[in-house]
Structure 1
């Protein structure tokens, strides 16, 4: 089980990848709206989760990561069905993988 400080540090990495995905989706006009919506929702949820990460309440932190990971799963499913550009697909997979790896380290 990760310690609180480690969770917070890993979450910062997740946020960076989510921010990068959001930038890629905004700069690429050919991104399907379903993917754009998924990434936007993940970014919003990550913003809300930021305050949870500062709370030092591990159970709330784990729940926030679990919620984000489920959203990452959805983004990956949408990506598989819509077949965006390789750059977009790559960044979506990175978001999913970061969230999934963190979740599995917490359980």
Structure 2
């Protein structure tokens, strides 16, 4: 397991990445409901990060990141499907997914 400070730093970076995706979401007018749903779920899970950190349970942290990575992969798939999305939206989702994948790999 990563040192606690690194976990905190990565979770903070992850929260920022999810926040940027949520901001991009609010700027888009014609998003598929599926993408909107994935990002909203990620945003809610991101809000739980502080609560999970307070529990100091490594299994819950790993589970949260794994669950978020699945949602991030689904959001990325929608962005890559050829739909007319802004560059900001695609970039925010790709960045968020990359953060999740990297964090997940370092946790294992």
Query: What's the CA shift for 1:60?
Result: 1.3
For 2:65 and 2:23, the matched residues in 1 are separated by 21
| Shift in alpha-carbon separation, 1:82–1:47, aligned structure 2, 3 A | farther
- Taking the TM superposition and a 5 Å limit, the aligned residue runs for 1:4-43 are 4-43=4-43
- Taking the TM superposition and a 5 Å limit, the aligned residue runs for 1:1-107 are 1-83=1-83, 84-107=85-108
Contact 2:11 2:49 in 1 (8 A): no
Query: What's the CA shift for 1:46?
Result: 1.5
Which contiguous aligned blocks of 4+ residues in structure 1 show a shift greater than 3 angstroms? none
Moved more, 12-21 or 2-11: 2-11
Query: What's the CA shift for 1:45?
Result: 1.4
